[in-house]
Amino acid sequence: MPSEVDVNALLRTLAAAKPAGCCLELGTGTGLASAWILDGLGPNGSLTTVDNEPKWLDVAQAYLGGDSRINIVCSDGDEFLRQVNAQATRYDLIFADTWSGKYRSLDLALDLLLPGGLYVIDDMLPQSNWPEGHGAKVQSLMNDLAQRSALQISSLAWSCGVVIAAKL
């Protein structure tokens, strides 16, 4: 399910605020949000985008692979987060658009943020396609984020529901 146009436009703006930033997207899909993030990044910025579905990544590669700023990775998101946490790589912007880094491995994702870095998630307002019990997962995630003193959080009841957290 691709991110809504409003969310993509917000991602472009946030990327533009960090033009030479190092960005991470968890859940590439076909690369729609990736394209918007790249549009906001300056020529010295970079985006690593991760998905575990080769057929979707083939689409992203076909349309975005010629951009030297993007690194398209086929991997399980949780495994990717474990591996990159063992390295020194840190990010200015993380868009977690899948379960990894959002409902699973949240600590690993947040550990990757630089001070002043932004963590962005969407689909936080009730959706007609949510499976039974998903609302409780959303509420649990929101409670978890609210208790983290190292984050300044804005929860936006806008579009599909967006949360932006800045690491202090």
Per the listing, tokens 């990159």 go with 84
DSSP structure string for 24-69? EEE--TTSHHHHHHHHHS-TT-EEEEEES-HHHHHHHHHHHTT-TT
Domain holding 50: CATH number?
3.40.50.150
Residue by residue, pLDDT tens for the chain (168 residues) are: 678 999 999 999 999 999 999 999 999 999 999 999 999 999 999 999 999 999 999 999 999 999 999 999 999 999 999 999 999 899 999 999 999 999 999 999 999 999 999 999 999 999 988 889 999 999 999 999 999 999 999 999 999 999 999 999
Is the Cβ–Cβ distance between 71 and 49 less than 8 Å?
yes
Give the structural domain span for 161: 5-167
How far is residue 16 from each of residues 44, 100, 126, 141, measured CA to CA in Å? 12, 25, 29, 27
Instruction: Report the pLDDT value the prediction gives residue 3, as an integer from 0 to 100.
Output: 84
Number of domains observed in the structure of the chain: 1
Instruction: Report the pLDDT value the prediction gives residue 61, as an integer from 0 to 100.
Output: 98
Question: What is the Cα–Cα distance from 56 to 36, expressed in whole angstroms?
Answer: 17
Secondary structure of 9-21 in HEC code, one letter for each residue: HHHHHHHHCCCCC
Question: What is the Cα–Cα distance from 23 to 93, expressed in whole angstroms?
Answer: 5
How far is residue 136 from each of residues 32, 131, 139, measured CA to CA in Å? 28, 11, 5
